Amino acid sequence: MGIKSGGNKMKTPWMEMSVREFQSALASSSPTPGGGTAAAISLGQAAALTIMVCDLTIGKEKWKSGWDIANKALPICVKIMSRAGELADLDSDAFDDVMAAYRMPKGDENEIIMRKESIKKSSIVATEIPFETSKLALEILEILPELALKGNGNAVSDVGVAGLLASAACKGALFNVDINLSGLSDDVATDIRKESPDILKMSRALSRQIMDNVRERL
């Protein structure tokens, strides 16, 4: 979804905007794009930086010890970078759908039931999207500790930035998961409720490991 005007959606995906245009949209009073979209954009940037470091490592004899991890990371991050752009749009659209559900009429019992069901369905979708963002961010975080130690030493600071961006994407997305779960009954999205704390715990540990490994080579 793109910038809204007069309540209508324009069709420009966030990833097709200039940085200035996206930041202006993010700074606007419109609720979308918001933190979930920003987290997905951070995910894409983390993937892109990781791809760069992989490309700077593969084929360079000096960094041969890093070829294996770079070759492993490269296709993973290419897919994540592409998906991150989709998640940025999906997150905004999902939030808009939640708001539309809350605006549904509730004049009689049937309308109340339909509204309640629409809120539930749209809230589940709005939870699943940032949850995917968090899981993909964790995939990057799992790659980076070894890349920080073995990748091109001239780009180790870029690994650090990728780690910070992936950490922000993961934790930011989980904030959105939690706020959406708070409006749903405990028997809904049980898998997400169970997995989210573990993802957060792992992301924190991996983030610290990445930073330690980066600073070791600076």
Task: For residue 153, give the nearest of 51, 44, 56 by alpha carbon.
Answer: 56
Provide the 10 A C-beta neighbour count for residue 21.
Answer: 14
Total domains, the chain: 1
pLDDT at 151 over 50: yes
Does 42 fall in a domain?
yes
Backbone angles phi, psi at 37, to 5 degrees: -65, -40
Residue 88 lies in a domain: yes
- Residue 1 confidence (pLDDT): 33
pLDDT at 122: 95
Residue 9 belongs to some domain of the structure: no
Rg (CA), the chain: 19
Asked whether residue 94 is assigned to any structural domain, the reply reads yes
Give me the pLDDT at residue 188, please. Answer: 82
Instruction: Please check whether residue 25 lies inside any domain of the structure.
Output: no
pLDDT at residue 144 in the model: 99
Q: Is residue 24 situated within a structural domain?
A: no
What tens digit of pLDDT does each residue of 90-147 get? 999 999 999 999 999 999 999 999 999 999 999 999 999 999 999 999 999 999 999 9
Amino acid at 164: L
Predicted confidence band of residue 11 (pLDDT cuts 50, 70, 90): low
In this structure, is residue 198 part of a structural domain?
yes
Residue 68's pLDDT band, with cuts at 50, 70 and 90, is: very high
Task: Write down the pTM of the prediction.
Answer: 0.91
> What's the average model confidence in pLDDT over 17-28?
92
Cis geometry, peptide bond prior to residue 130 (ω within 30 degrees of 0): no
* CATH code: domain of residue 94: 1.20.120.680
**Separation between Cα atoms, residue 127 and residue 192, nearest integer Å:** 8
Range of the domain at 41: 33-217
50 falls within a domain = yes
pLDDT at 198 over 90: yes
Specify the higher pLDDT residue, 9 or 105.
Answer: 105
